[in-house]
Each structure stands twice: as C-alpha cells, then as structure tokens.
Structure 1
Amino acid sequence: MEVLITGGCGFIGTNLVDRMLNQSEVTRVRTLDNYETGLRRSDSSPRVEEIEGDLRKYDDVLKASEGVDAIVHLGALPSVPRSIKDPVATNAVNVFGTLNVLEAARSNGVQHVSVASSSSVYGANPTLPKSETLATLPLSPYAVSKLATEAYANAYQTSYNLSTLAFRFFNVFGPLQRADHVYAAVIPKFLDALKHDRPLTIHGDGEQSRDFTSIHAVTDALTKAAVRRVTNASPVNLAFGTRTSLNEVVRMLQDIHPKRILVEYVEPRIGDVKHSQASSQVLEDILPDLVQPSFEASLKEVYDWYMGL
C-alpha cells in the first residue's frame, strides 16, 4: 500500500515516515509539506517521495493524494499562543486544509484517512480523566480548529462512506522535536534551555499536568490504524492515562542532568489548560496491541538525543 502523510516533514511526520518504512505492508510513502516548520529529509530512500505543497491549495492536495491507499493528515499550524495571535491563519490551514484533504480523498477514492486532533478540544471541562464522551469546551482558536478537524472527518464518514479516524493527541514528545521557534512545546524548550545553560521557564506555578505521550506510541498507532483501516464513530484519545506535572518533569530531568537546574516561573498563558489526562479505554479497544513506553525512559531517550545534537 502507498500512504500520503501531510505535514510529513514535521516532528511527528518525520518519525512516522520512518515507522511506516518498517511496516511490510507499506510499499511507498509520500509526504506533503510546505516546509514552513518541517525540514527536508537528509536521506534519499527510494520508497519516499517528498512533495512541496500547501494544504490551503486544493489542487496541491488533490495531486499529492492521487493513487494512494491511505492518508495520515498531520499538517497544521500548531500552538495555542499562535492561534490567539493569528486565528485567521490557524483556521485557514487547520480547517480549510482538512476539508481539502478529505475532499481530495473522496475524489481520488482513497480508502482510509486518519486526522490529528488535540486534547485541547476538552478545554475548560475540568473532568479527569478525559473520556471521548465529555463535552468539548475549547479555550483557543487552535482548539476550535482541531474540533472542526475531527468533526469534518466524522462527517465525511457518515456522509460519503469514507473510512476515517480522528485521533486526539496529548502532548507528544520525542526525538526530532524542534525547540528553535517561539511556539515550541514544553519538553524541547526545557531541553534547549538545559543544553545552553539557561533557566527553564514555566508559565504558572508548574503544577499544571499533562498526559505526555511518546512519539513511538503515536507513530505505532497511526501506522497500525492506516494499515488495518481502523475506523471509529467518534474521535479517539491517543494517550495512555498518565498525568505528570511540569514540576515533576523538572525533577526527573534533574535526576539525569549533571548540573543544577534553575527554574523561572512567569505569568500563566491565556488559553492554556490546567490539567490534561486521557481515558485510554477506546484506544485499547481499537488497537489492543499498542505498546506504552514509560515516561521516564522516553524522557531519558529524548534528553540523550537532544544533548547529542
């Protein structure tokens, strides 16, 4: 089978390409990326085709998806703060881009489409853990755009009989995650600060908690869902029900970092969710053979990778 990965040159996409290439059923992988945040691959595998294009341009997406069996739609403008600064751009890429992907899939007879949503859709709902049946109360334009992403995927399943699956990502981290931009995620930001002997910056008191998810579990889930054409009538949490505060992350890093870690606490950010933790029951039901790496081991892996750059 041939798979198209939108955003395939970003952090998750690059790791997913490598995971797909190790799957015997996958013969070729295409990536569609505009390289705004993604990086071109340094290797030249004959089984990988890189296509430069923009999700906002339907013809780009239509051409990239010709002849593929499955699409994994990761392409997006990430970040809550970015969306608050420029909600129109976030909507254009994340909402209209998703619609272009789904419509191109329908036109080209693609057999399966999985899309990346986000735990941010739960927003102000305080219930823990977050089950997929909870009310969604998004707090940012980014969260709204991800709610639209998963809703469109489900609508195309019911309206056009297109096999779709929407995954809600929870704080994915791992090797290849970049820290060299203002909207970088918290773990690469921490590691970048450590590497350059700077204090870690935490917005708020550090007691906010996240369900950090290893990139290896995420790419395993995305690969197996595409190969098996797994569908579900509603979005699925892609996380394992863990809950770790930022202060705990700092303590774990201190256990493996040779120098004393300094932390600067600053004002909380608008739109940030205080606590995030998934219910993983639906994920376990549809993909019972997923492996959950431990957070400590995954953190040590990405620490070693980052310090070795």
Structure 2
Amino acid sequence: MTSEPLKSLKGYKVLVTGGAGFIGSNLCETLLKHDIKVVCLDNFSTGKRENIKPFLKNPNFKLIEGDIRNLPDCHKACEGVDYVLHEAALGSVPRSIKDPITTNDVNVSGFLNMLVAARDAKVKRFVYAASSSTYGDHEALPKVEDVIGKPLSPYAITKYVNELYADIFHTTYNLNTIGLRYFNVFGKRQDPNGAYAAVIPKFVQQFMDHESPVINGDGSYSRDFTYIENVIQMNILALTTTNKEALNTAYNVAYGERTTLLELTTLLKEHLGKFDKDILNIEIKHRENRLGDIPHSLASIEKAKRLLNYKPQFNISDGLKEAVSWYWKNI
C-alpha cells in the first residue's frame, strides 16, 4: 500500500492491543517502519515475545505487559494515546466451544474495558478486530455487511457483541469506531503450533514435516483467505480516513475470492514443492466436519473500496508464496 495514509499519523501515538500476536505484531512493525510511536499491550497468553523482540530497542516502541480484562491495565495503556488498534482477543471457534466463559471474559469484558479506557483517554479513533463469524448461519454469498444471520458459536457471539458495544459507545459517548470483519487472515508470524492453530500455518508445518494434512470434510468447504498485507492496509485506512461517512460502521476485510480447502492444499504443495520436491507427493487425509464451522465464506469488499479506497494487493496465491517463504526460513 502507499505510505501516504501513514504520513498523517506522524507525531501521534498508536496503541496496539494484542501487539505481540500475529496481526498485532505485523501492525506494530508497519507503524514503526514509518517512524510512528507505538504502545503495545499484551499479556502473552497467545502472543509471543519473539514477535516483538526486534522492536524492543526502538525508541518509538513501548511494551506494557497487561491484560485487557483488568481495567487499570487498559487505562495505563491508553495514557497519552491518540489512536487504538484493538487486536487483543481469544480467537478460535473450537476453543470458544470448549471454554465459552474465558472467551467471553476476554472478548466481551476485555473489549468493554478497552472502550471505557479509550473513551476516558479521549482517543481520536478506536479501530477493532471484528470477525466474519458474525455472519453465522446466513447462507447467501458474498457476505454483505448489513445482512447477518444467527451466530454459530460462542466466539461468533462475542464478536457480534463487540460491534453492538462499539455502536453504543459512538452514540452515547461520541467515540469514533470502525470494526474490521477479518476473513481467514494468514501470513508471517502466524503460529503453526497448538490445538487451535489456523489451517494455513498448520498445513504448512505438516507439509514441511512430511506429514499428511487432515481436512475436515471432503475439502469442498471454501474460505476467503486474506493475506496479512491486505489486513494492514485496511487497518491503516480505517485509522486515517477523513471520510466521516466511513466512520462508526463495520467492514469486511478480505480479498473477495473464495478458495476450497482442496484448492488450498494444491497451492501449498505447489509453493512448498519449490523448496522440497517430496512435498508434492504427500497425500491429504479427511475426517468429519467440525462443529460450528461455516461451509462457505466469501466477502463483498465493495463497501471498503467505496468508503475507504481499499485496494487489496495480494490474492491467495501471491500471499501464500510470501507466507511459505517466511515459514521455510523461520520454522
């Protein structure tokens, strides 16, 4: 993306909650590259210290180790801050099904704490990670922002509640907010390990270990996989837009194309095969579909194009090429 929007943030301070996480650390990196002051709030429950290690000696970077479930931590993080990028959350549909209470504590109570702290600090704008899971059982494709269904998991409920709270904080306290409904984000620093790892880094790790990835279902389920650079672009546009019509609403953050899981594994083999030809011969295994999974996901990005001038630069194949290269060098 052009650096023009980032120039308008010079001299301001941006808080990135969950800044040691996958998306958060990529946002911190972009802001710091453009000489913007960054505060990172993270409790390292899912974020990783190695993700922010390169930033610790940067005079524009400040780390606050704290928890969004603790309101004083949120107030401390918001001191002197002009803008908030709220990425801190507990992701994963399966994790929310297994432990709905913790997911709700972090994603709803923690979110509310951050809104209160941002309001009290009189921040200029609060941009937060929403989710495509908000579309729930609404089957029509592509997904358009103002038409949603019933949530299919505790996680989806929490992310929808975030949007409701953000709307109330605008109408009641005049806090400007923008929600970004992420669609299956992938890219460098996304953790391939753990029970709740996202499908792309998990499959990459398995292919590199010469293991057979396991697809839930027959592989026909599809997703609008979105490379991290497209997500960074949307966050910066949301922070810097001067279009008042663009504020206090939610946007899909995606590329606008869908890829089946079988197509995904084919592309991963193709890109990884350039590093290790044996990967081309690894077979794919299947098991039953997973509880709470949505069969198909495809975003309309027309609203983001129209109101924020969003122009995604990376399609699935280009993004995978970049991501695979990073994983090959780093894991």
**If the length of structure 1 is used for normalisation, what is the TM-score?**
0.96
Task: Tell whether the 8 Å contact from 1:214 to 1:293 is kept in structure 2 after alignment.
Answer: yes
The structural deviation recorded for 1:240 is 2.6
CA distance in 1 between counterparts of 2:26 and 2:308 reads 19
In structure 2, which of residues 291, 311, 314 is the aligned counterpart of residue 293 of structure 1? 314
**Which residue does 2:135 correspond to in 1?**
122
Aligned 1:120-269 pairs, distance under 5 A: 120-228=133-241, 231-256=246-271, 257=273, 258-259=277-278, 260-269=281-290
CA RMSD of aligned residues (A): 1.3
- Deviation sequence 1:214-270 (CA, Å, 0-9, x none): 100101211232133664343111113110001001111222322212211011110
CA contact (8 A) 2:136 2:148 kept: no
Letter of the 2:204 partner, please give it: L
Comparing both structures, which one devotes a greater share of its residues to helix?
2
Deviation, structure 1 residue 291? 3.4
Report the residue type matching 2:317 in the other structure.
Answer: E
In the other structure, the counterpart of 2:53 is: 42
Letter in 2 for 1:209: S
Mapped pair 1:284 → 2:305? yes
Structure 1, unmatched stretches of 5+, are: none
Distance 1:289 1:270, change over 3 A: closer
Q: 1:105 aligns with which of 104, 118, 132?
A: 118
TM-score of the two chains, using structure 2 as the length reference = 0.90
User: Match for 1:180: what amino acid?
Assistant: N
User: Could you give the per-residue CA deviations for residues 251-300 of structure 1, whole angstroms, max 9, x where no partner exists?
Assistant: 11222322212211011110011000001011101221533212111101
SS in 2 for 1:308: helix
Q: Which amino acid in structure 2 is aligned with residue 74 of structure 1?
A: E
Which residue pairs with 1:77 in the alignment? 90
| Residue matched to 1:14 | 25
- Secondary structure of 1:202's counterpart equals strand
The separation in 2 between residues aligned to 1:191 and 1:159, in whole angstroms, is 46
Count of aligned pairs: 307
Q: Distance in 2 between matches of 1:280 and 1:17?
A: 25
Partner residue of 2:39? Answer: 30
Q: Is the 8 A contact 2:304 2:310 kept in 1?
A: no
5+ residue gaps, structure 2, are 1-11
Equivalent position amino acid for 1:202 in 2: I
The aligned amino acid for 1:266 is R
Moved more, 190-199 or 219-228: 219-228
Letter aligned with residue 78 of structure 1: G
Q: Report the Cα distance in structure 2 between the residues aligned to 1:305 and 1:229, rounded to whole angstroms.
A: 35
Structure 2 CA distance for aligned equivalents of residues 180 and 229 of structure 1: 40
Partners of 1:122 and 1:227 in 2: CA distance: 27
SS at match of 2:181: strand
- Shift in Å at residue 307 of structure 1? 1.5
Deviation at 1:39, TM superposition (A): 1.4
Alpha-carbon distance in 2 for matches of 1:296, 1:111: 37
Q: CA deviation at 1:201?
A: 1.1
Q: Distance in 2 between matches of 1:277 and 1:156?
A: 29
Tell me the distance in 2 between the aligned counterparts of 1:48 and 1:3. 10
**Paired letter, 2:259:** T
Q: Displaced runs of 4+ in structure 1, greater than 4 A?
A: none
- The residue that corresponds to 2:15 in the other structure is 4
Matched, 1:90 2:103: yes
Question: Equivalent pairs: percent with the same residue?
Answer: 43
Equivalent pair of 2:184/2:224 in contact (CA under 8 Å): yes
Contact 1:112/1:229 (<8 A) preserved: no
Report matched runs for 1:54-69 at 5 Å: 54-69=67-82
Q: Is the 8 A contact 1:19 1:220 kept in 2?
A: no
